Every structure is written in structure tokens, then in C-alpha cells.
Amino acid sequence: MDAHFLPISRLRQVPSVAVVVDVMRAYTVAAWAFARGAEKIVLAESTADALALTARHPGWVALKDGPPAPGFDLVNSPGLLRSADLSGRTVVQKTTAGTVGALAVKHAPLVLCAGFVVAEATARVLRAGGYDEVTFVVTGEDGRADEDLACAEYIAHRATGPDTTAATATGPATETAGAPGATIGPATDTTTAPGSTTDRATADRAAPYLRRAAASRAAVELATGIREGAHADDVALCLELDRFPFAMAATLEDGLMVLRPHTPH
């Protein structure tokens, strides 16, 4: 499998398979929303579009980045979302990077949205498909968010087999991997989440990627309260490896980009 790692700004053509990665926090939040009972997630183009959708559909729930705002029911925080009852609800999500990345590849035949919490399930979809080429959209910081790049590289590694690495990695996003002067933080706890099927060998393989994510700018800003609309547990929740058994696939439905859980076979 040829794996290409690209920021949103470098997408020049429609990929055949796209994996859109936003670890902190869009697609960790999306996975939690499904775990809390959401039926589907509509990825909105703008906050105005999100509010217009919920105005037309009073039962839908709106979610955005940052602090609470009028018209929005939830913020983009797994720690704050994990106690919500979303049974049977439709969530409309608008974030700074994650939703933008998915909408940028909305015409791709297969769009998967991912974070560490659904890493193995996402890799299983790619392995089952036997795809020759996969584009990983590294959404944060114009492709330089190390938590997103680390997760993308880890999924690519898993997609090509547990003990092999992706055949090729192209695009400017890869420049941040192992860059001189990069700081790797203290070892991340790779204890598997409740219900996870991740074994110790898999956790050990994931550890270097999780360490990079834990030392990322996003993780530091969340941990120190720089980012609004956050919970103290957000970073830890974003780094729970394989917390959920499903992948997440986005497709166009009646002109809207709709994300749904997908269980790989």
C-alpha cells in the first residue's frame, strides 16, 4: 500500500481512498458521540450552516470548537461529551480542521475519519480492501500537527500488517516526523481502554506514536487550558488506543457529508 500524508492545502485531486485524521479532537469526539448513541453526524461547512441545519431539524444537536455558544448544544470535547445521552440523535459537527478535511475529500469513493480511538478498526477496513494507494489527510496545523501525523503513520503501519511499515510516505506533512530538535514527551500510558481488544504487543508498537501525540502542541495547549471548551481528561481520552471497535465512514447523502460508524469484517 502506498500511503501519502498530505495537509488539506495540498490536496490537488480526488483520492480513491482518504483517511481524514483529527486526533485532538474532532474524530475522538465523533467516536464518543456514536458510543453515546448518535445515529449519524453531519459535517457542516460553517457554524452558520450548522445552525441552519438544526433550525430546519429541531431534533438535531449542534456541536462546535471552542467555548459554549448560543444555538450550540455541545462543545468539541470528549471529556464533556462522554456523559451526554445522544440515543438516536443526529449531531451536526463543525470544527476548525477535522470537518474541513473530510469536506475537502467529499467526492472520494471511500472516506474514513479517524483518531487513535478507532485506529485498528480503520486499519482493518484498509487491509480488507487491499487498496494500492491511500491518502491520509493530516488536518491539524496545515499537516504539521504531530498528533495527527503520528496517528496517520500508525494506521498506515497497521494497515500493511502488524510487523511492517507503509510502502511509501509522500507529502510535506512527513517533514515533521523525527525532525531535528523534536521533543518526545514522557512515555504515554498505553493501558488499553475498557472493552478494547488491543493486546500488549500492539500497545507496545503504538507507544512511540502515542508519545509523539502526547508531546504535541495540541496536547500541551489542551492540558494547560489554552484551548477553550476543554475538559481535563481530553488529552487522555484522545490517546486511548482502540477504545472503540468501529471505524467511521463519511458519504454524501442528499448533499450533506454524513459520518456513520462502520464495523469492519
Q: pLDDT (tens digit, 0 to 9) for every residue of the chain, 265 residues total?
A: 999 999 999 999 999 999 999 999 999 999 999 999 999 999 999 999 999 999 999 999 999 999 999 999 999 999 999 999 999 999 999 999 999 999 999 999 999 999 999 999 999 999 999 999 999 999 999 999 999 999 999 999 999 975 444 333 444 443 333 322 222 233 334 344 554 556 889 999 999 999 999 999 999 999 999 999 999 999 999 999 999 999 999 999 999 999 999 987 7
Give the list of residues 6+ apart from residue 227 with CB closer than 8 angstroms, or none: 218, 221
Q: What is the pTM of this model?
A: 0.88
Nearest to 23 by CA among 157, 106, 137, 131: 137
Residue 124 is placed in which grid cell? 482493518
Residue 242 is placed in which grid cell? 482502540
B/e letters for 9-45, b = 16+ CB within 10 Å, e = fewer, are ebbeeebebbbbbbbbbbbbbbbbbbbbebebbbbbe
Length of the chain: 265
The two beta strands, 247-253 and 40-43, are unpaired
How far apart, in whole angstroms, are the C-alpha atoms of residue 154 and residue 146?
A: 12
